[in-house]
Chain A
Amino acid sequence: MEFLGNIWNSFAALFTVTPGWMTFGGWVAAGLTICLFSFLYKDNPFFKVAEHLYLGAGMGWLFQVYLFQTWKPKVFLPLMEGQYSVLIPTLLGLSLVTQFFPRISWISRYGFTFIMGYGSGLVIPLTISTDFLKQIGGTIAPFMVSEINSGNIMSLLNGTFVAFGFICVLFYFFFSVEHKGAVKKASNIGIYFLMLYFGAAFGNTVMGRFSLLYGRFDDLYKYSAPDYFYATHVVLGLLVAYFILDKLVLSRRGGGQEAH
């Protein structure tokens, strides 16, 4: 056992993070980022490698999270301590894995029905109180006597506008009645309110995505510093050289695909 322990300790020692590893990390980060961005020019093997690495790394990350946050502290350790009640959810969970074996895949229904029953039971109070009653309450609130008496005309006007728009949007989504006459007029007005919502959502989406892109560019700028031995420049240069070579080789062979 001591021998195995020593081997494990020697193996673990290889994973010590030193300042050199931090610099190398900058190269890895710059390389992976630029490889993923290279798809914007053209599909290439470097992008595909990075894409598959992301798939594996993403699953690996979740695996280690569940291993150390769920399986070890909530299943393995309680079982070692004799708390056998965790066997019930463990068996329900393991039953899900029988999905892969067609002859016994019906056993997975036990796990699925537990998850679905629990999830459905929880979602009803969530949506009723938060997305339904509170929203209707919020629409009615500006028209309460105390609010009207406070004399805030703008608040009353805005509240009327919201209530009006809200009802028109509901008319738009109500498909049990044919949209004609007054219903059609109301639903057309509802569409304008929806367009305002989608326009604002589009604006925020643009800002959100640009913020993420800014974050990546900021990191690339950091890794282009002398501290990281100009990692960004070197990786970018190598990729550009690859594309130039690729184009030369392709133009000699004739044909090839470009992503437009």
Chain B
Amino acid sequence: MKNALEKFLKIDRRLIFLALTVLLFAPIVRPLGLPNKNLGKDVVNVYNYIENLPERSFVMLSLDYDPATRPELHPQAVALIKHALRRNLRVGIFTLNAGATGMIEDIAARIPSDIAPDKVYGRDYVIMPFQPNPVAVMTQLGINIYEIYDKDRNGNPTKDMEVMKGVKSVKDMGLGICITGTAMLDYYVAYVADKYKFPMAGGVTAVSQPGYGPYLQTGQLKGLIGGMKGAADYETLIKDLEKGTSGIDALSLAHVLVIVLIVTSNIIMLVLKYL
């Protein structure tokens, strides 16, 4: 018995990899369809903030993630854009991460097709080009955004666009949301939210989420959407279930596997200790 348990404890890790693969792949092929009931308070705060913004307020959406964090953050971005456009708010899509340009193009193609077909580019939303040197850009956002964003991503002048009417800096905007897998949100909090007293919310990966607790408590962030669960919660709130919801459905079995493995290995270790 002791030998069997020791062997089990030293099991070939490739079998563990196989178990994870099967448990994560199976719900993709055949979804479990589990309901997402318990919504995070910080996600609800973001939703409520947008719900309470006056119509035609300008929302700055800074999409600063790359393909590596796409599964967690792209569903958040899509859900936020859907909500903002359907609430008849003006949306400006910015990016300070070169890797995000491809995913912004995906969103740009989807807005006229399924996200908000009645919205017009230049009147209801605008997509700005990628700009390097985030801190320089953020400092400029609080002074005069046209110094950096004088043209949109297609090269059209932005100053006279209907969507930019009355907007010269972040002080004229209703809310800023940064969706990122890096420390970009920290920079936004320091260089935009704190400096210009501009309301900011964030969308981050599950890995980074615990680090933003202090900002939420101090009110530096109005709300936070964390990981795929946050995206699923937001999709539930806007009643439009998509990749976020199907994602956490698939993750259920994998999460249970991790817990079962940790508990099993510790029980075996305890049993071996007393055998």
**Which of these, B187, B190, B211, B228, contacts A207 with CB under 8 Å?**
B228
Question: Is A55 in the interface zone, CB < 8 Å from B?
Answer: no
Indicate if the CB atoms of A215 and B70 lie closer than 8 Å: yes
Question: Is A192 in the interface zone, CB < 8 Å from B?
Answer: no
Q: State which of B44-52, B107-115, B213-221 sits at the interface with chain A.
A: B213-221
Q: In the assembled complex, how far is the CB of residue A28 from the closest CB belonging to chain B, in whole angstroms?
A: 14
Question: Is A99 in the interface zone, CB < 8 Å from B?
Answer: no
Interface residues of A in 119-173 (CB under 8 A from B): 122, 125-126, 129-130, 134-135, 137-138, 141, 162
A69 to B252, CA, bound (A): 42
Main SS at interface, chain A:
helix
Indicate if the CB atoms of A208 and B205 lie closer than 8 Å: yes
**Across the interface, which residues of B come within 8 angstroms of A69, CB to CB?**
98, 129-132
Question: Is B258 in the interface zone, CB < 8 Å from A?
Answer: yes
**Which of these, B13, B132, B220, contacts A134 with CB under 8 Å?**
B220
Given A204-B226, A206-B258, answer yes or no on A221-B210 (Cβ-Cβ < 8 Å).
Answer: no
**Across the interface, which residues of A come within 8 angstroms of B29, CB to CB?**
221
Given A69-B98, A221-B28, answer yes or no on A211-B186 (Cβ-Cβ < 8 Å).
Answer: no
Q: In the assembled complex, how far is the CB of residue B182 from the closest CB belonging to chain A, in whole angstroms?
A: 13
Main SS at interface, chain B:
helix
Q: In the assembled complex, how far is the CB of residue B75 from the closest CB belonging to chain A, in whole angstroms?
A: 10
Q: In the assembled complex, how far is the CB of residue B54 from the closest CB belonging to chain A, in whole angstroms?
A: 28
Question: Is B273 in the interface zone, CB < 8 Å from A?
Answer: no
**Which of these, A65, A205, A214, contacts B132 with CB under 8 Å?**
A65
**Across the interface, which residues of A come within 8 angstroms of B208, CB to CB?**
204
Indicate if the CB atoms of B132 and A221 lie closer than 8 Å: no
Given A41-B14, A201-B210, answer yes or no on A217-B28 (Cβ-Cβ < 8 Å).
Answer: yes
A215 to B254, CA, bound (A): 14
Q: Mark B9-29, 1 if CB is under 8 A from A, else 0.
A: 000111001001100110011
Q: Mark B156-188, 1 if CB is under 8 A from A, else 0.
A: 000000000000000000000000000000110
Indicate if the CB atoms of B72 and A134 lie closer than 8 Å: no
Question: Is B241 in the interface zone, CB < 8 Å from A?
Answer: no
Q: In the assembled complex, how far is the CB of residue A159 from the closest CB belonging to chain B, in whole angstroms?
A: 9
Indicate if the CB atoms of B227 and A129 lie closer than 8 Å: no
Which residues of A approach B to under 8 Å, CB–CB?
40-41, 61-62, 65-66, 69-70, 122, 125-126, 129-130, 134-135, 137-138, 141, 162, 197, 200-201, 204-218, 221, 260
Which residues of B approach A to under 8 Å, CB–CB?
12-14, 17, 20-21, 24-25, 28-29, 68-72, 98-99, 129-132, 135, 186-187, 189-191, 194-195, 205-211, 214-215, 217-218, 220, 226-229, 243, 247, 250-251, 254-255, 258
6 closest A-B pairs by beta carbon, nearest first, are: A215-B71, A138-B218, A65-B98, A208-B207, A208-B206, A207-B206
